[in-house]
Amino acid sequence: MDKNIRICIVGGGPAGLSAGMYLEKKGYTNYTILERSDRVGGKCWSPHYNGKRYEMGAIMGVPSYYAVHDVEEFCGITHDGPKLNRNYKDAKGNVIEPFEPKKNPLKIPRLLKMKKQVKKFGELLETKYKGYDLNGHRGVAEGRYEGYAVTPGREKVEGYNSNLKDLALPFKEFCEMNGVELVQDIWIGPYTSFGYGYFDEIPAAYVLKYLDFQTTMNFVKVNLWTWEQGTQYIWEQLNEHIAHPARLNSEITRVERRDGKVYVTVNGVVEEYDKIIVTAPLYVADGNMGNNNGMVDYFDARDDEKELFSKIDYERYTVQAITTTPENHPEISYYVFDNMVPEKLGHLMVYYRRWKENIDQVITTYALRTHKRMKEIPYDKCNEMVLEDLKTMHNPAKEVINKWSVYYFPHVSCEDYAAGWYDKVEAMQGKYDTYYAGEVMSFGDMDETAEYSRELVERFF
């Protein structure tokens, strides 16, 4: 492809900024990143409070975040943030240690069984489900894998494995079918509490693309990366180091694709490009996200785009930032496993203390408001429930200083996954001079989205 083509990138989050970086590395310098908001980073949002930054979105990374490490190297930064740790409480606010046999003698048989199942699961993933951990979802529904290994070198691999079709099953069913149902006790912490849905409704592919075995073990061992200035800092730095920083406050009202060109109306002015990469949401199914429209709302969307992108669903994940009085400040972050089940929809699942040495800082709380077989919990009602839960946890809030609910974890159903949704979308890459990237094409964490942008550039540019 001509290195001088004009490329428009829609979205200044991890996916869009990474696309710019990887294009630049390959010699494409005529690109423009358009970001609707007044900041970069997307769901990596790290506001300031009392001289420090806290996290409203992404919190941490692990050593297998190779795309994030690419960004660190490109910018000359590193993961220099506070060391995180956590403990656990039950729904009544009692501190518990669910994985410690000496503290749970009655649970020793279950814990021993779980340990054996985790080992078995690791072996199954490497053998029966070879290829499960590649970035993106190309070929999975057809029983094949194609992509790059989850290693520092990211070697290209491909092959056939009909067992991969099982990844379209709900993760709960997937685990039960393989006789490892207790591994859900381990995977649920970094999955459901982070807002990615419940194991009885989400395809196993999403769970395992994000929480492949090595990533999960890093979470278990608390082998985590953080950044002193927050996860948003990673993308702020990238925006400063690429040749063409994102243009903020860019309101796109129309995209027309005709005669081999792409015409983008941004802030009332029509700009001409040769190709467009969409990393912003492809579609918002119910229009409940205010002005955060999906691409079919401002593109000259074709019938195939409308049909496929109308199948995308998303999670209603709610975050609150609160302060406490000194005596009510939690001594550590807490997970509340009892609340990570559909029956406790809308309740507090986890709350984070980021700065161990400071009690004049923010605590962030997290709750899910939707399950496909249950009535959605209204946003305000959920916030009230979480504040009541904090009282139960013996860490009542003094003040709510921030709250957020965004278009979160776009995904498709088990049925649409099994029917080849991803292969249909991948077959459209480059059609209409348009390329599709961002969260839904891989997974909704910052590394998976950045890695997908790397692979997109590698495949098509």
Query: Residue 93: inside a domain, yes or no?
Result: no
pLDDT for the residue numbered 288: 56
Domain edge (last residue) among 194, 220, 246: 220
Percent of the chain predicted with pLDDT > 90: 90
Query: Residue 92: inside a domain, yes or no?
Result: no
> Same domain for 74 and 126?
no
Q: Of 18, 454, 444, which is closest to residue 190 (Cα–Cα)?
A: 444
Query: Residue 42: inside a domain, yes or no?
Result: yes
pLDDT for the residue numbered 107: 85
Considering the chain, what is the average pLDDT of its residues? 95
The 10s digit of each residue's pLDDT in 27-50 is: 999 999 999 999 999 999 999 999
> Same domain for 187 and 235?
no
Residue 330 DSSP symbol: -
> Same domain for 110 and 206?
yes
Domain edge (last residue) among 386, 410, 434: 410
- Cα separation values, 65 from 103, 154, 436, 456, Å: 34, 12, 22, 17
> Same domain for 299 and 434?
yes
Query: Residue 86: inside a domain, yes or no?
Result: no
> Same domain for 321 and 301?
no
The 10s digit of each residue's pLDDT in 190-235 is: 999 999 999 999 999 999 999 999 999 999 999 999 999 999 999 9
Q: What is the CATH number of the domain that holds 428?
A: 3.50.50.60
pLDDT category at 286 given cuts 50, 70, 90 is: low
DSSP 157-214: EEEE-GGGGGGGSBHHHHHHHTT-GGGHHHHHHHHGGGT---TTTSBHHHHHHHS-HH
Q: How far is 419 from 421, CA to CA, in rounded Å? A: 6
> Same domain for 104 and 211?
yes
Query: Residue 91: inside a domain, yes or no?
Result: no
> Same domain for 382 and 320?
yes
pLDDT at residue 104 greater than cutoff 90:
no
Provide mean pLDDT across the span 289-296.
69
Ramachandran category for residue 291: left, alpha or beta (phi over 0 → left; psi -120 to 50 → alpha) = alpha
pLDDT for the residue numbered 289: 53
The 10s digit of each residue's pLDDT in 120-149 is: 999 999 999 999 999 999 999 999 999 998
Judge contact between 166 and 174, C-beta under 8 A: yes
pLDDT category at 260 given cuts 50, 70, 90 is: very high
Provide mean pLDDT across the span 87-109.
90
> Same domain for 403 and 300?
no
Percent of the chain predicted with pLDDT > 70: 98
pLDDT at residue 84 greater than cutoff 70:
yes
pLDDT at residue 274 greater than cutoff 90:
yes
Q: Quote the number of domains for the chain.
A: 3
> Same domain for 295 and 422?
yes
Q: What is the CATH number of the domain that holds 208?
A: 1.10.405.20
Ramachandran category for residue 60: left, alpha or beta (phi over 0 → left; psi -120 to 50 → alpha) = beta
Residue 152: give the domain boundaries.
98-220
> Same domain for 140 and 151?
yes
pLDDT category at 433 given cuts 50, 70, 90 is: very high
Q: What is the CATH number of the domain that holds 368?
A: 3.30.70.1990
Query: Residue 90: inside a domain, yes or no?
Result: no
Angle in degrees, CA 191, 194, 196, rounded to 5: 65
Per DSSP, the three-state class of 356 is coil
pLDDT at residue 98 greater than cutoff 60:
yes
Q: How far is 92 from 394, CA to CA, in rounded Å? A: 9
Query: Residue 2: inside a domain, yes or no?
Result: no
> Same domain for 150 and 194?
yes
pLDDT category at 292 given cuts 50, 70, 90 is: low
Judge contact between 35 and 28, C-beta under 8 A: no
Query: Residue 391: inside a domain, yes or no?
Result: yes
> Same domain for 416 and 435?
yes
217-242 burial, b if ≥16 CB within 10 A, otherwise e?
bbbeeeebbbbebbbbbbbbbbbebb
Report the length, in residues, of the chain: 461
pTM for the structure as a whole:
0.95
pLDDT for the residue numbered 151: 84
Domain edge (last residue) among 205, 220, 235: 220
